[in-house]
């Protein structure tokens, strides 16, 4: 450097901190108008429901009913198990599909073709009725039973939902694996890592960033799709509320109750998904996005700043 920069003050004393800008923020009148209209419409809707022939009292009465709670537990349980089965098998299928071995690649292709090409409702019914094909299940040394005893509603539901899900998860995982730069597996292999280790330690963790968001959606979808297991007589939330509804005469009310439970469950899942995405974003951006809690706090702070003048 040959040019000397003119310093603001005499050497040694730090320059005074610049004054912060004080300005009146832009007013968004449109937002206020939209909010007022929305609230008015909501109020109309609510009053319509309130005046309708609905016995609202029945909902809180049965909200924590033993049978309903059992249904909630079963719905959560079958959702989690089906997703675990779906994700695990989906990853295996994705890896098979991408492998250089033509046999495993075609098996995976055929699996995905079949399970994505038929409705999950039909698949559930087929699992439940496979007894028509197989009278007995006979895994020679380990297990032998009549099919109808073996294929419980739970197992039919799990297989029906999980195996179907695996086909969708396979496609999601494949997209995730393919999104990872080839240089990554090359670097891992150059370090002497095996294919399996490269996949597990290097590729999959990076693929997760692409895999997790759609998987969260799949999870939420699965939670709702479990309502189909009524077809195999599994005691899920919908089955429980319908039963209670029929016994108590509050059929429609119990449907509202079921909807409320589903909403609560999906909301919990959405929050979980948010934090999972945050976790897998680490290292990919310089700083993680704020959590909702942090954002609320920041908003409150900026709000108090607006009234109290510009603070530091």
Partner 1 sequence: MTAMVKAEGVHKSFGPVQVLKGIDLEVAPREVFCLIGPSGSGKSTFLRCINHLEKINSGRLYVDGDLVGYRQKGDKLYELKDREVAEKRRDIGMVFQRFNLFPHMTALENVIEAPVQVKRETKAVARERALRLLDRVGLGDKAGNYPSQLSGGQQQRVAIARALAMEPKLMLFDEPTSALDPELVGEVLDVMRGLAEEGMTMIVVTHEMGFAREVGDSVVFMDDGVVVESGQPREVLTNPRHERTKSFLSKVL
Give me the residues that bind partner 1 (CB under 8 A), please.
181, 183-184, 186-195, 197, 201-202, 205-206, 282-286
Site of tokens 């939902």: 161
**What number of other Cβ atoms are within 10 A of residue 263's Cβ?**
10
The nearer residue to partner 1, 133 or 190, going by C-beta atoms, is 190
Pairing of strands 136-139, 143-146: antiparallel
| Closest distance of CB 175 from partner 1, Å | 18
**What number of other Cβ atoms are within 10 A of residue 191's Cβ?**
10
H or E element, residue 139: strand 136-139
The nearer residue to partner 1, 96 or 157, going by C-beta atoms, is 96
| Closest distance of CB 186 from partner 1, Å | 6
**What number of other Cβ atoms are within 10 A of residue 127's Cβ?**
20
| Closest distance of CB 183 from partner 1, Å | 4
Cα–Cα distance measured from residue 122 to residue 161, given in angstroms and rounded to the nearest whole number: 11
Write the burial class of residue 217 (CB in 10 Å: 0-12 exposed, 13-18 middle, 19+ buried). Answer: middle
Sign of CA dihedral 270, 274, 279, 281: positive
| Closest distance of CB 224 from partner 1, Å | 32
| Closest distance of CB 58 from partner 1, Å | 51
Site of tokens 């309903």: 68
The nearer residue to partner 1, 4 or 286, going by C-beta atoms, is 286
The nearer residue to partner 1, 178 or 299, going by C-beta atoms, is 178
The nearer residue to partner 1, 191 or 264, going by C-beta atoms, is 191
Cα–Cα distance measured from residue 196 to residue 204, given in angstroms and rounded to the nearest whole number: 10
The nearer residue to partner 1, 157 or 202, going by C-beta atoms, is 202
């Amino acid at each position: 450097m040959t040019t000397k920069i003119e310093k603001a003050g005499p050497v040694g004393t730090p320059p005074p901190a610049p004054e912060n800008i004080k300005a009146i923020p832009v007013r968004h009148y449109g937002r206020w108008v939209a909010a007022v209209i929305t609230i008015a419409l909501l109020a109309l809707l609510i009053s319509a429901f309130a005046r309708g022939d609905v016995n609202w009292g029945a909902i809180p009465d049965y909200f924590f009913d033993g049978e309903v709670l059992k249904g909630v537990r079963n719905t959560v349980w079958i959702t989690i198990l089906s997703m675990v089965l779906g994700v695990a098998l989906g990853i295996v299928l994705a890896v098979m599909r991408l492998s250089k071995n033509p046999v495993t690649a075609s098996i995976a292709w055929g699996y995905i073709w079949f399970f994505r090409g038929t409705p999950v409702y039909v698949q559930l019914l087929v699992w439940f009725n496979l007894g028509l094909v197989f009278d007995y299940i006979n895994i020679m040394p380990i297990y032998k039973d009549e099919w109808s005893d073996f294929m419980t509603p739970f197992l039919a539901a799990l297989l029906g939902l999980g195996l179907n899900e695996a086909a969708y998860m396979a496609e999601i995982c494949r997209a995730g694996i393919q999104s990872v730069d080839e240089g990554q597996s090359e670097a891992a292999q150059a370090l002497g890592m095996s294919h399996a280790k490269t996949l597990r330690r290097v590729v999959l963790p990076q693929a997760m960033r692409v895999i997790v968001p759609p998987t969260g959606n799949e999870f939420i979808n699965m939670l709702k799709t479990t309502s189909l297991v009524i077809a195999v007589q599994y005691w899920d939330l919908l089955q429980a509320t319908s039963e209670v509804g029929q016994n108590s005469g509050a059929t429609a009310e119990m449907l509202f109750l079921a909807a409320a439970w589903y909403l609560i469950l999906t909301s919990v899942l959405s929050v979980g998904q948010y934090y999972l995405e945050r976790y897998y974003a680490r290292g990919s951006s310089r700083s993680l996005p704020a959590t909702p809690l942090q954002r609320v706090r920041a908003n409150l702070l900026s709000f108090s700043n607006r009234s109290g003048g510009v603070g530091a």
